[in-house]
Chain A
Amino acid sequence: MAIAEGDIASRPELPGRLAGPRALLWQVLARPTGLIGLAVVLLTLATAVAAPLIVPHNPSAISMWHRFKPPSAANLLGTDDLGRDNLSRVIYGARLAAEIAIPAVTSAFLVGLLIGLLAGYFGGWFDRGLIILIDTLLAFPSVILALALLTLVGHSIVNTALVVAISFFPYYARLTRGLALTTKYQTYVKAERALGAGQARIMFVHLLPNILPPLLVVVAMDVPSAIVVEAGLAFLGLGVPPPTPDWGVLLNDGFVNVAISVWPLVGPLLAMVIVTTGFTLLGETLRDVTDPRHAGVRRPARFLGRGVR
């Protein structure tokens, strides 16, 4: 039984059995929300990859003669307190967000997957001990846990990713454990065991491929949650240090100077809203398509189980 999460939060929010990837893609594209969501997600990734090629200016080029300029043909979103081009900094921000969030979520997932698989498969005291530890980590809202850890390990890009990963992995461990538990009682697993398959074989050849697809969807949809935590920490001055053009750093720069010019804030705010909404739309559509029972309802686990915001 979930200890640190609510009953309503502890229902794993997983899509059911997934159709083939191609069929899934068509179903997603057939819905306007899916189309928009996928477009935004792909555009964000493309921006992150191509940032150096598409920025109109060098994002770090300081020009004290052009501080706090309103939007113009040369600077579409104006300039900031050091005369740097706001648009270019926002574009580079996408790259940083991806550079931090994707490795953070991936490593959190791998660690969580392994722990969850072992706990769910072996059960018993091993499982109970692990779950208590996991639930203790889940008792901290991610932002708070990350905040405390960053104070101890110091601020840097790598540490931010590390801390985000640490605050996310217990969630994946719990999710994986739940799935492993239900799957290990399936007839085909019992049959395999009767045929004399080893534990490692059952775990990695039989359990893993069956629980992986729905988990991957959840993990992919958690990338924006990681961006939200990462940028939030940077905004509070605890994550990526300035002058790196992280969205959180940009938000903080804009916030500090809001009385002088609003333009440094507009860009990163729009970027955050568009990217997180895009991921949400895609995630909702994926879930509706794969699990019509929950169409339209987002159970709070994803937001609240980890207290991501």
Chain B
Amino acid sequence: MAGYLLRRLSSALVVVLLTTVLLAVAVHLVPGDPARIVLGEHATPDLIAIVRDRMGLDDPIALQVWHFVSGAVQGDLGTDFVQSVPVTSLIGQVLPDTLALAFASILLALLIGIPLGIALARWPGGVLDRVTHGLSMVFISAPAYVTSLVLLLLFAVKLRYLPAVGAGQAALPVDYLRHLILPALALAVFWWGYLPRLLRATMLEVMGTQYIRNSRAFGVRERVIFYRYALRNALLPIVALFGLMIGYSLTGTVYAENIFARPGLGSLALTAIGQRDWPVIRGVVLMYALFFIFGNLLSDLSYRLLDPRIKPDDDVEAGG
């Protein structure tokens, strides 16, 4: 386990480092003058000169990489072009809103998804099972912007129960939570399609194993077998899923923030793209990548930690 932990952590670190390097040289990967690429075709020569200077584009590329990476390690992602504010402080202002949305959606997903999955496994082939099967296919297929727009149509335009614009005031918890409901729902829909199916399948698999049959032969009550013996094992993959849920939900927030006009990382990125503010775009992309890498790491480690049956990694197994 310790060896695995070390290897997994170090490989995650390498990926983080390479990601940062990649973002540092990104403007040089596209053919053409980097300053012009960043600013667009209609940039004035003055502006290009300023950006060239600010980004240190005349320095050797290795030096540029060093500046960005060493800065990033110290929590400095440069300053933005528009207001000359540190990128990290721009990110810091909106990060709580994005994280609140991501975790609210994960919470909603688990609160509905797990009980539903248990019910499906308890009565497989029942009415509930059949009704939700078709629906789950729709749910796992619909992208976040489609679910967001459907909810916007339903609630903001037709029913008008819930606020659909903005994040509300953080000082008023009720107001803030009410503004979270619609976007969080939009991102939870995918998991309502996915989680119950996963739990149902894992439960049915566990219920067919030898130790469950043995417990039955010993006369253990069915409820105890189901909830205490089987469920505990079947929940393992879901716990490991948590890390992946972080990454997924964060990607979805880009759309949900845009559609429900919420402040957040996604909105920040889109505004920055509109203003061709490359340092901000680069910083936000790095943040997403970091969360994504962290989520995957969390998922790997928790899975390994919780389920000792998982084999140590060998290369032949680990494609994909």
Binding site for B on A (CB under 8 A): 1-14, 33, 120, 132-133, 135-136, 139-141, 143-145, 147-148, 151-154, 174-175, 177-182, 185, 224, 228, 231-232, 235-238, 251, 254-255, 258-259, 262, 265-266, 269, 272-273, 276-277, 279-281, 284, 295-298, 300-301, 303-305, 307, 309
Bound CA–CA A152/B11 (angstroms): 29
Please name all residues of chain A whose beta carbon is closer than 8 Å to the beta carbon of B200 when the two chains form the complex. Answer: 296
Complex contacts, A8 vs chain B, CB 8 Å: 237, 240-241, 244, 299, 303
A36 to B252, CA, bound (A): 28
Q: Which of A9, A237, A276, A284 has the most CB of B within 10 A?
A: A9
Q: A148-B282, A300-B241 are in contact. List 13 more A-B contacts (CB 8 A).
A: A1-B7, A6-B244, A6-B296, A139-B292, A139-B296, A140-B285, A147-B273, A148-B281, A177-B319, A235-B255, A296-B201, A300-B194, A300-B244
List 27 interface pairs A-B (beta carbons < 8 Å), by A numbering.
A1-B315, A4-B15, A4-B292, A6-B296, A7-B299, A8-B303, A9-B244, A33-B137, A132-B18, A139-B16, A141-B247, A144-B251, A147-B273, A152-B26, A152-B27, A153-B30, A224-B141, A232-B143, A236-B255, A254-B149, A258-B156, A262-B153, A262-B157, A269-B153, A273-B138, A281-B137, A297-B201
Picked from B12, B141, B292, B293, the residue with its CB within 8 Å of the CB of A277 is B141
- CB contacts between A and B, total, < 8 Å: 217
Q: Which residues of B contact A280 (CB under 8 A)?
A: 137, 140-141
Q: Shortest Cβ distance from B300 into chain A, in angstroms?
A: 5
CB atoms of A304 and B285 under 8 A apart: no
User: Dominant SS at the A interface?
Assistant: helix
Given contacts A6-B300, A6-B303, A151-B273, contact A296 B197 (CB under 8 A): yes
- B141 contacts across to A, CB distance below 8 A: 224, 273, 276-277, 279-280
Give B192-213 as 1s and 0s: 1 = Cβ < 8 Å from A's Cβ atoms.
0010011011100000000000
Task: Tell me the interface secondary structure of chain B in the complex.
Answer: helix
Q: Does B6 interact with chain A (Cβ within 8 Å)?
A: no
Rounded to whole angstroms, the CA-CA distance of A266 and B254 in the bound complex is 22
Tell me if B259 is interfacial: C-beta within 8 Å of chain A.
yes
Asked if B173 is an interface residue, CB under 8 A from chain A, the answer is no
Residue in chain B with minimal CB distance to A266: B153
User: What separation, in Å, do the CA atoms of A251 and B197 have in the docked complex?
Assistant: 30
Is the pair A307, B248 in contact by a Cβ cutoff of 8 Å?
yes
B109 within 8 A of A: no
B30–chain A nearest beta-carbon distance, Å: 5
Q: Closest B residue to A37 by CB, please name it.
A: B137
For the complex, is B250 an interface residue (Cβ under 8 Å from A)?
A: yes
When C-beta atoms are compared, the residue in chain B nearest to A142 turns out to be B251
Q: Which chain B residues border A177 with CB–CB below 8 Å? A: 319
Chain B contacts to A: CB under 8 angstroms: 7-8, 11-12, 14-16, 18-19, 22-23, 26-27, 29-30, 37-38, 40, 137-138, 140-146, 149-150, 152-153, 156-157, 190, 194, 197-198, 200-202, 237, 240-241, 243-244, 247-248, 250-252, 254-255, 258-259, 269-270, 273, 276, 278, 281-282, 285, 288-289, 292-293, 296, 299-300, 303-304, 310, 313, 315-316, 318-320
Which residues in A have their C-beta under 8 angstroms from that of B289?
139-141, 144
Q: Considering residues A133, A182, A231, A232, which has the most beta carbons from chain B within 10 angstroms of its beta carbon?
A: A232
